[in-house]
Structures are given as C-alpha cells and as structure tokens.
C-alpha cells in the first residue's frame, strides 16, 4: 500500500456535532496513509465522541483543555500548532466557523487556529439552514479570503431528518483532499486530456470485441494530474469504478466514440496522455439484432481499422504535448521506440503485459528524446506521480 502522507504531521480538530463520529474513521485513514496525527477537541465534541476513542486510534493523548497541564509550558495551543504541517478541522460547526472567522480564542482549538503558522483546512458540518444562513456564508467567505481551504460540505440526508447541503464530506473524500493538498502543483494552470480503459466494438447488440484493460492506470494518472494542479478531462471506456474527485469524466464505448470525444477537446489541451487500450479494429458488419446460432452457421465477421487517436492528436498544428503507452508481450524497447517514432510523440511509457496489465501494480520504462528512464516496480498510483513529474520536467511546467 502506498502511504501518501508518510511523515506528515496533522492536527485533527473535532468540534461539536453528530458528524464527529466520522472523524474517528478519518483519523484511522490518515494514520493508514502514514500521517502522524494529533487530535484536539472542543468540549462540545466530547458530548458526541469520547476523547478515549481518539486516543486509542491515534495512540496519543487528546487535548481538550486550553490549560492542560501535560504541556510543560501550559501552552498546548502554541506547541501543537508549531509541530504541525497542517491543521484539519472535521467536523467544523457553524459556531466554530464564526469564532475563527472573527479571531476568537476562547478555547484550545480556536486559540490553536489563531496561533498557527501552518495551513488550515476546514470541513463544515451543520443543518442545511444553518449552512445557508447569510451569517455562515459571510464567515465562510471571510475564511476563504484569509486563505483557509473549505472542504465541502456535501448535500444529502441529515441527522435532523432534513435533506440539503451541510453534510460533512465522507472521510475518504476528506482524505483525498488532504493528499491533494500536499502534492506539489507542478501542472498548475495546465489542461490535461487523458484516455483510459478499454473500448468495446459491437458484433451485435449484446456481443463485442474488447480487452482486459481495467482502466486503473489511466484513472491513477487522472488523479495524479488533478492533484498536481491540472484541469483534467478523462475520456473513459467502460470501467467498473468512479472518476477521481475534481476530474471531468466523459464516458464512451467504442473507439469511434473515443476518437470523437478526444478530437473535439484536443486543441484546447496542453497535454494529451493516451492510456486507453483502444481496439485496433471494429466490426464493419455489426448486426442490428442478436445473432442466433441456428441461423446459417458461423457468422462471418468483417473487421475494419479504427482511427489512430494518438497519431491524429500528435499531428495537430500547435497541438498538445503527447504521451503514449505501449503494452507489449516482448521486445518492449524496440516496439515502444518504434511506436514513438511512428506517431512522432515526445514521450512514451512502456510496460510488459505480464508486469501489470489490468492489475494494481506495474513496472514502467519511459522513452523520450533524452534516453531511457526505467521506473522501479510500484503501485500504479506511485508510477503515475512519477510520470506526471517527468511530464512536468519535459514541458517546463516547473
């Protein structure tokens, strides 16, 4: 498992509200990703979840009292914030947002926020009418103006029985936002277009030609590019999972669908990464109705070549920086370099099918004008981050 927050020191602040129970799962997730987590709570939060729960999860004493004598200098609000790379308040009640927006320091957590010298992320949680109240919106706008990042809230069913905006983001969503926060914004301001997954070429309404691509590499690259600050559009064939947060996904089915979706967007992209396992051929005589075994024996299927999406994008005048992928069963370097020259692209990432096609991990070798750059075997998430860094270097993005 990739520990994306390894060594990061995070203070998790928990305020009063029913969503405090989600903070326990959030702390667990942060620690699983390698973070060093210190929990601080308001007195109100202890009415929903005990400090013992957070102490058991974090393995550290939990701080509630501004005058806690466990700090030798009785300055927990200073010492805890000075040790942190980030303060994350989840959940943040309407009352707490109001207090920190106005610089109040009437409990440990608010005082810590006021005295901090590290970034602050806040995940609000409250009744929908409290969230929509003009006073709350003024406080949120004030905090955003001060550089505080507001995470959410989400919309949905609330503990009070009402439905609307005000739910705290789920712990997994907050974790993703925290991970994104720490990623260097190497592609800030860039537009990245990515293809991912297989295509499906219909033989009849229920049968077709496809392949074993899972789409994991393309989706991992979309997430890595978005975390690096890019505006990401993902053109995806049929896969079994959802798009990363902040990524605009365009669903397609066939190679022709993918070709059309890419070509109308390619001229607006700065970087195009062709990860999809696009079918080389489609069925020229696809049947309108389901083919039956008892009607005339084995059907004759005629194939016709699909357009080469990557080559067409690479040939565009003033087109994007193009990155290709080559999955081969043998002779990787020879085939990958030949593909790079044929399509006239500056960078291609090659891998052997047996090393990770369809799986969670892979082994990549990058081929560009400067030579060959092998990457150590790793998860597709880690390889994606390394590939994005390499693209940023080649495009002068940092």
Catalytic residue list:
160
Bridge partners, 164 (sequence order): 156
Residues paired with 305 in a beta bridge: 281
Residue 61 CA neighbour count, 13 Å, CB half: 9
Beta strands in 284-341 (DSSP E): 303-305, 321-328
Which stretches of 33-154 are DSSP H helices?
Answer: 51-58, 76-82, 94-101, 108-115, 128-132, 134-145
**DSSP assignment string, 165-215:** EEEPPPHHHHHHHHHHHHS--TTTT-EEEEEESB--EESSSS-EE-----S
Residue pointed to by tokens 């696809």: 286
Phi, psi of 351 (to 5 degrees): -150, 155
In whole angstroms, what is the distance from residue 209 CA to residue 221 CA?
25
Cβ atoms 232, 194 nearer than 8 A: yes
Task: Pull the structure tokens for residue 182.
Answer: 């720490």
């Amino acid at each position: 498992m990739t520990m994306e927050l390894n060594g990061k020191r995070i203070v998790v602040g928990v305020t009063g509200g029913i969503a405090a129970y989600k903070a326990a799962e959030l702390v667990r997730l942060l620690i699983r990703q390698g973070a060093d987590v210190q929990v601080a709570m308001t007195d109100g939060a202890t009415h929903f979840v005990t400090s013992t729960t957070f102490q058991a999860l974090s393995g550290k004493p939990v701080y509630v009292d501004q005058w806690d004598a466990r700090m030798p200098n009785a300055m927990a609000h200073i010492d805890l914030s000075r040790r942190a790379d980030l303060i994350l308040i989840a959940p943040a009640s309407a009352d707490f947002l109001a207090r920190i927006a106005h610089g109040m320091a009437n409990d440990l957590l608010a005082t810590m926020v006021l005295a901090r010298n590290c970034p602050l992320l806040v995940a609000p949680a409250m009744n929908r009418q409290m969230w929509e109240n003009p006073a709350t919106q003024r406080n949120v706008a004030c905090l955003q103006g001060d550089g505080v990042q507001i995470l959410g809230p989400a919309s949905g069913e609330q503990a009070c029985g009402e439905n609307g905006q005000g739910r705290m983001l789920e712990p997994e969503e907050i974790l993703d936002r925290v991970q994104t926060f720490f990623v260097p914004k190497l592609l800030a301001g860039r537009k990245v277009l990515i293809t991912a997954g297989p295509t499906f070429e219909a033989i009849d309404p229920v049968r077709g030609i496809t392949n074993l691509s899972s789409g994991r590499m393309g989706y991992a690259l979309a997430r890595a590019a978005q975390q690096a600050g890019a505006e990401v559009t993902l053109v995806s064939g049929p896969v079994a999972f959802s798009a990363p947060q902040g990524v605009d996904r365009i669903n397609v089915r066939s190679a022709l669908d993918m070709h059309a979706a890419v070509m109308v967007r390619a001229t607006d992209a700065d970087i195009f990464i062709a990860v999809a396992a696009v079918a080389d051929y489609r069925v020229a005589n696809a049947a309108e109705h389901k083919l039956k075994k008892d009607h005339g024996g084995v059907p004759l299927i005629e194939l016709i070549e699909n357009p080469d999406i990557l080559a067409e994008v690479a040939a565009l005048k003033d087109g994007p920086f193009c990155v290709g992928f080559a999955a081969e069963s043998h002779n990787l370097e020879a085939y990958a370099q030949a593909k790079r020259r044929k399509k006239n692209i500056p960078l291609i990432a090659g891998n052997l099918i047996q090393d990770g096609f369809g799986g969670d991990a892979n082994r990549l070798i990058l081929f560009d004008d400067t030579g060959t750059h092998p990457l150590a075997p790793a998860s597709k998430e880690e390889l994606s981050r390394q590939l994005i860094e390499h693209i940023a270097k080649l495009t002068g993005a940092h």
